[in-house]
Amino acid sequence: MALTLVVGNKNYSSWSMRPWIALKAAGIPFDEVVIPLYTGDADKQRILKYSPAGKVPILVDGEVTVWDSLAIIEYLAEKFPGKGFWPSDAGARAHARSISAEMHSGFMALRNECSMNIHRPVHKRALSSDAKVNANRIQEIWTACRRTYGRGGSFLFGPFSGADAMYAPVVHRFRTYGVDVAGEAADYMSAMQAHPAFAEWSSDALKETWVIEKFEND
């Protein structure tokens, strides 16, 4: 039985992007269900049919249902141990999980001020001091990972991993809102944008016609 991944609008749903791009990058086939967000009770009920949490993304694997992007990536790493969701080296793997958890629970100022909106025309936004701290910390993470673990590939730990999937939406945020990025961090963004899975999600997002006004915060 094929896996099923339930996602929200590709233009806006950063959490949905993470396991979707992880599956695509690993070459694992899955069925995709897109449920637009913030459209009323009908679509909310559609989501609840898959998970009582009422949020996307949701992975369905037969009798197993997993929700939350990081939990899904961990489940996939256990189910497909040869697909490289995490680095093989124990130290690198611990570091990858640490920065993924930091992404999962942190950077709230940047999230609030620069929501993912792929079809937004690219132009610079003035950030608060807290959001600037977030952006700087993310660039520090990218630079340190590539320098320490990135040999043998263009991504944070060399080959594409779950950590790259967790940071993929930030690449869009930095691009869309004109966040100043240089050096290793800029190279990393270029590598991510060139990845076929990243490009496919982005192309799909640009074809969507749904508009969520609360995220159109120019």
> Residue 171 and residue 185: Cα distance in Å, rounded?
10
pLDDT at 9: 94
Looking at domain 90-201, its CATH architecture is Up-down Bundle (1.20)
Could you report the per-residue pLDDT of 61-74, keeping only the tens digit for each? 999 999 999 999 99
Could you report the per-residue pLDDT of 17-42, keeping only the tens digit for each? 999 999 999 999 999 999 998 887 77
Could you report the per-residue pLDDT of 72-97, keeping only the tens digit for each? 999 999 999 999 999 999 999 999 99
pLDDT at 218: 63
CA dihedral 180, 125, 101, 66 (to 10 degrees): -130
Assign a CATH topology to domain 3-83.
Glutaredoxin (3.40.30)
Could you report the per-residue pLDDT of 92-136, keeping only the tens digit for each? 999 999 999 999 999 999 999 999 999 999 999 999 999 999 999
pTM as predicted: 0.95
Domain ranges of the chain: 3-83, 90-201
pLDDT at 37: 87
